[in-house]
Structures are given as C-alpha cells and as structure tokens.
Amino acid sequence: MDLGSLTRLPQTLRNLGRGRHILGVLTRHGFADVLARLGLEGASHTFLKIITFNRYRPDEGHTTEERIRMAMEEMGPTFVKLGQIMATRPDLVPLSLVTELRRLEDRVPPFGAEAAVAEIEAELKQKVGDVFADFEREPLAAGSIAQVHRATLKSGHKVVLKVRRPGLERMIRTDVDIMGKLAQLLEENLPESRPYHPKAVVAEFARSITREIDFTREAFNIQKFARNFGGDERYVVPQVHPELCTKKLLTVEFVEGIKITNLDSLRKEGHDLPKLARSGVNYVLMQIFKHGFFHGDPHPGNFFVLPGDKLCLVDYGLVGALDEERLDELLGFMAGVVGKDAEKVVRTFRHMGILGDEVDMRRLRLDAQDLIERYAEIPLGRVDMGKFFAELYETLARHQIRVPPDVHLLGKALATAEGIARQLDPSLDLIAEIRPFIVKTYFERLARFKVVGREVRRALEEYGALLRTLPGEASRILTQLRKGEFEVAAHLRDQERLVRDGNRSSNRVATGLVMAGVLIGSSMLLIIPVGPTWHGVAMSQMAGGLGYMISGFLGLTLFAAMWRSGGG
C-alpha cells in the first residue's frame, strides 16, 4: 500500500487522529474514488474500512453537492467556514454547489463557562470579579470561532464579551495545512478541478480566517464604522472598550434591539417596516460607495432594530475595504448594471485588469449583453439582484475570468441587503432605490478635480520613472550593440490599433501636462498682480483668469476623451 501521498500531509503527521477523521468522513460520504485519484492509491476500500473501523458505506442517496455539504459539516468548524466562503465565490465554484453550500450550518456546542472564564482572565491578567460587577456564565450565543457572554462593568455599563474558542488557532492551522495539501493534490491529479482554482480558494480562506480570529482587527473595524457614521442618527455602532480587547477577547457595548427578521415584534413595537427597508439598503450603499469600507456579512442575524427605527449591525469580523481606484471602478460597474449598459460593464472589468489576453472580448460582450437584456425585460420590482450577480459571476467563470474578492463581497452585501429589505417590504423596487444613489455618487466623484488630477499625477510619475531609468537602459543597449550581443524578438499583433492607442495616450498625457502648467502659471499671475490695471484689476490677474478658463477647457476635453473610452 502506498502511504507516501498520505504522509505528504505534514500537519497530519502531528495529528493522525485529525487526518484519520477527515479521511473517514470523506469516505463515508462517497468520495473514496476521489481520494484514489488524488494519488492516495493506498486508500483503497480495504484500507479505508480499517481506518474507519468498518464504517465505510458508499453514500448513494444524495447528490454530490449535498454530500460535499454534509462532509464539511461533519469535518468541523474550519471546513464549515471554508464552505461558507466558497458559497460567496460563484466564479470559483459551480453554481449548483454554491446553492447547496449556502445551507451550511454552524453546529457547534458552546464550551464550558469555566473555560470561558479561564480565557478571559488569561487575556486580561485579572480576575473576572475584579473587572466586572456581574458576569453571565450562560453564553448568549455560540459559534465556530467564539461564544458571547453578557457582563456588567464596575461602572454599570452593560457589555458583551466575545471569547475565542480555546485551541482554535492550532486547530485552524492544522486544518488549513490539510486543506492546502488536498487542494494541491486536486490540481495535480484532477484536471477538471483546475478551472476552479482549489489552491487559490484555500489561500483566500487562510487569509480571511486569520483576520477573522484576530479580535483586535474586529475592534478596529467597529471603531472605523463609528467614525464613518458618527453624525448619522439613523445608524448605531456599538462602543468598543479597547482596554478590554485582545486577539482572543472583544468587549463591546451591549445593544438591546429586535432582530430585523422578527417582523411580528417590529410591528408590535410600532416600527415602520418600509422605512426600515429603505434605510437598510441606504446603509449598505453608503458603506460601500461613500466610505469604501463595508460589512462583509450583513445577514439577518447581524441586523437589529432599535427604538426610533434606528439600525444596528453586529459582528464586524468580516469587512471589505476599497481604495479610491477600485471604488471608481465599482461605481462604473454598478452604473453599467443599473443603466443596462453591457459595454460599460465589460469596460470596467478590463480596467480592473482581470481580463487576460486569452479572453474572447466579442463573446464576453455578447454574453454580458444577453444577461443584462434578459434582466431588462423583468419588471424592476421583481429583479433579483442576488440571482443577477450569481449569473454574472457564472458568465465570467465560463470565460476563465477570476473576479477579485472585494467585488464578490460587494455582490454578497447587496444581495443580502436586498433579501432583508424585501422581507420588510415585499413591494420594494431595489433598482429604483439603488439607481439615484449610484448615479449621484458616480457623477459626484467624476466631478471632483482630483479624479483628473490623479490621472495627471500618475502620468507625471510614470514619465518621471521613465526619465530616471532611460539613461541606464540606453547605455546597456548600446553596450550590447557594441559587443554584438543585442537580440530583438518581435511579435506584432493588432499593430495599427496599438499605435493608435499609444498616440491617443500620448496626446492625453501631453494635454494633462499642458493643463497642469497653465494652472500653475495662472495661479502665480493671480497671486502676484503686475502691470497696468483695468477697473482695479491687474492685467496679470486677467491673464491668470483667462489661463484658468483655458485650463478648464483642456480639462473638459481630456475628461470627455476619457469618458468616451471608459477611462482607458
């Protein structure tokens, strides 16, 4: 029997019990043939009967997708978390499996109160009774990463303590190592798995779970949300107690509210459900497109309603962050979606740099047009954004296009917000709610001078880098020519288009440089008045004003050219 492949799982060697458990679960759910194809030739039915104590039974009563979900649930919290992330990546996972993985349940019993107290005291280096006037030993909630206890500070403030599970980091490290090796074996031995990038999925999961189990990150996320929405009375962000926060412990204000899906209680308390639906959608849109920092998991269990129709989100372990450039790209993408402009959507993906040379642009454009036109025929109030995004990602996956994780978080956040809003107000027209916000924000950002300024600055930086490196590169080429070592390999394709694009880019850079020069010169003329005056205004200041007008005209010309070509 060949155990070589099995022993290539390094962390498993340190935890044979865990390795045996995973093999047993996969076998019981009918994946013995897959294990054999992964190079585990020794994992024959006979061997698997031995290591599973003869509990091996082929699972023939469920679909493949159901068996994968059930196996993940049985393999434990780390694999459940992996499945939940896979359920948000329809570009990497078949849509049928995405649908099934969304049913994953986090079935983890709470750990004992003694263990929780021991963890809290170890982190705070104080006795629980010295810090809290009251501590509830019965957990308020329990999950795969942590459980939550209520407590009261000596000051009388009510708080909740999120306590990380003992031994969690070691277990995750073990499981992620096993996942990584299995992903490598999948790509090496199952060619049909390669389009779904198993190693990339595991790598993304490893990054995500590492951030999520560090509660100092979550404390920072909450504080940033509080700064972003500090002046908006519609939204409440729990107060963090940073002196009582560590990597394994998070202490925040206890916020008492009604879960947003408890419609009977909301009606009983006199809350305005349609108003809450629109407020929730607006909350998510502001997070993404105004602040570029958004809750990555705004599911119903994390939304609470407070008196006065105020909304409160909890659990900030998973967030998305967007830089200025990506924010502009996503606004362009959403403007294309709500404006039913397939060309703009494809153009935006090109600017994101996710379309390789092998992508058939004409075919992709036709597929995107077909998708958007099909949804254009649906009455606005019945458009399902979650389904639209899922089909869009599936279309991109067919073209071997990997969509960045932050774009998926965007789709997930919007789809989740839509689901919650429609429960509150079934008549909600989500597109009608989104369109004015997107269009307004899109044009506001385009109208900012810094958008054009950023392009000009980037061009200046690139030209500066070119000037710095050009003498050295020219010297090297001349040396190679003298020695007869210079070789040229040319492969020209679409030459005329490349020359035309290069000329257009050069013209834009030149226009931007001239505009910047005129702006600087005009500013100096306005600040330092010289020469004769006319009606109390110096000639230099008139020239400066004229310069600003010329610069504005050049800026509008440059902007119009960028707009026509989508910024490219």
Contact 69, 104 (CB under 8 A): yes
Write a three-state SS string for 17-64.
HHHHHHHHHHHHCCCHHHHHHCCCCCCCHHHHHHHCCCCCCCCCCCCH
Contact 110, 177 (CB under 8 A): no
Q: Which residues belong to the active site?
A: 297
Q: How far apart are CA 401 and CA 362, in angstroms?
A: 14
Closest CA to 263 of 420, 430, 428, 427: 420
Pairing assessment for the beta strands 249-253 and 310-313 based on DSSP bridges: unpaired
Q: How far apart are CA 121 and CA 245, in angstroms?
A: 12
Closest CA to 173 of 193, 202, 200: 202
Token duo for residue 221: 């996320």
Q: Find the length of the chain.
A: 568
Residue 405: which H helix or E strand, with range?
Answer: helix 405-424
Pairing assessment for the beta strands 249-253 and 158-164 based on DSSP bridges: antiparallel
Contact 189, 196 (CB under 8 A): no
Q: Which residues neighbour 330 within 8 Å (Cβ) at sequence distance 6 or greater?
A: 288, 289, 322, 407, 410
Contact 215, 248 (CB under 8 A): yes
Q: Residue 320: helix, strand or coil by DSSP?
A: strand
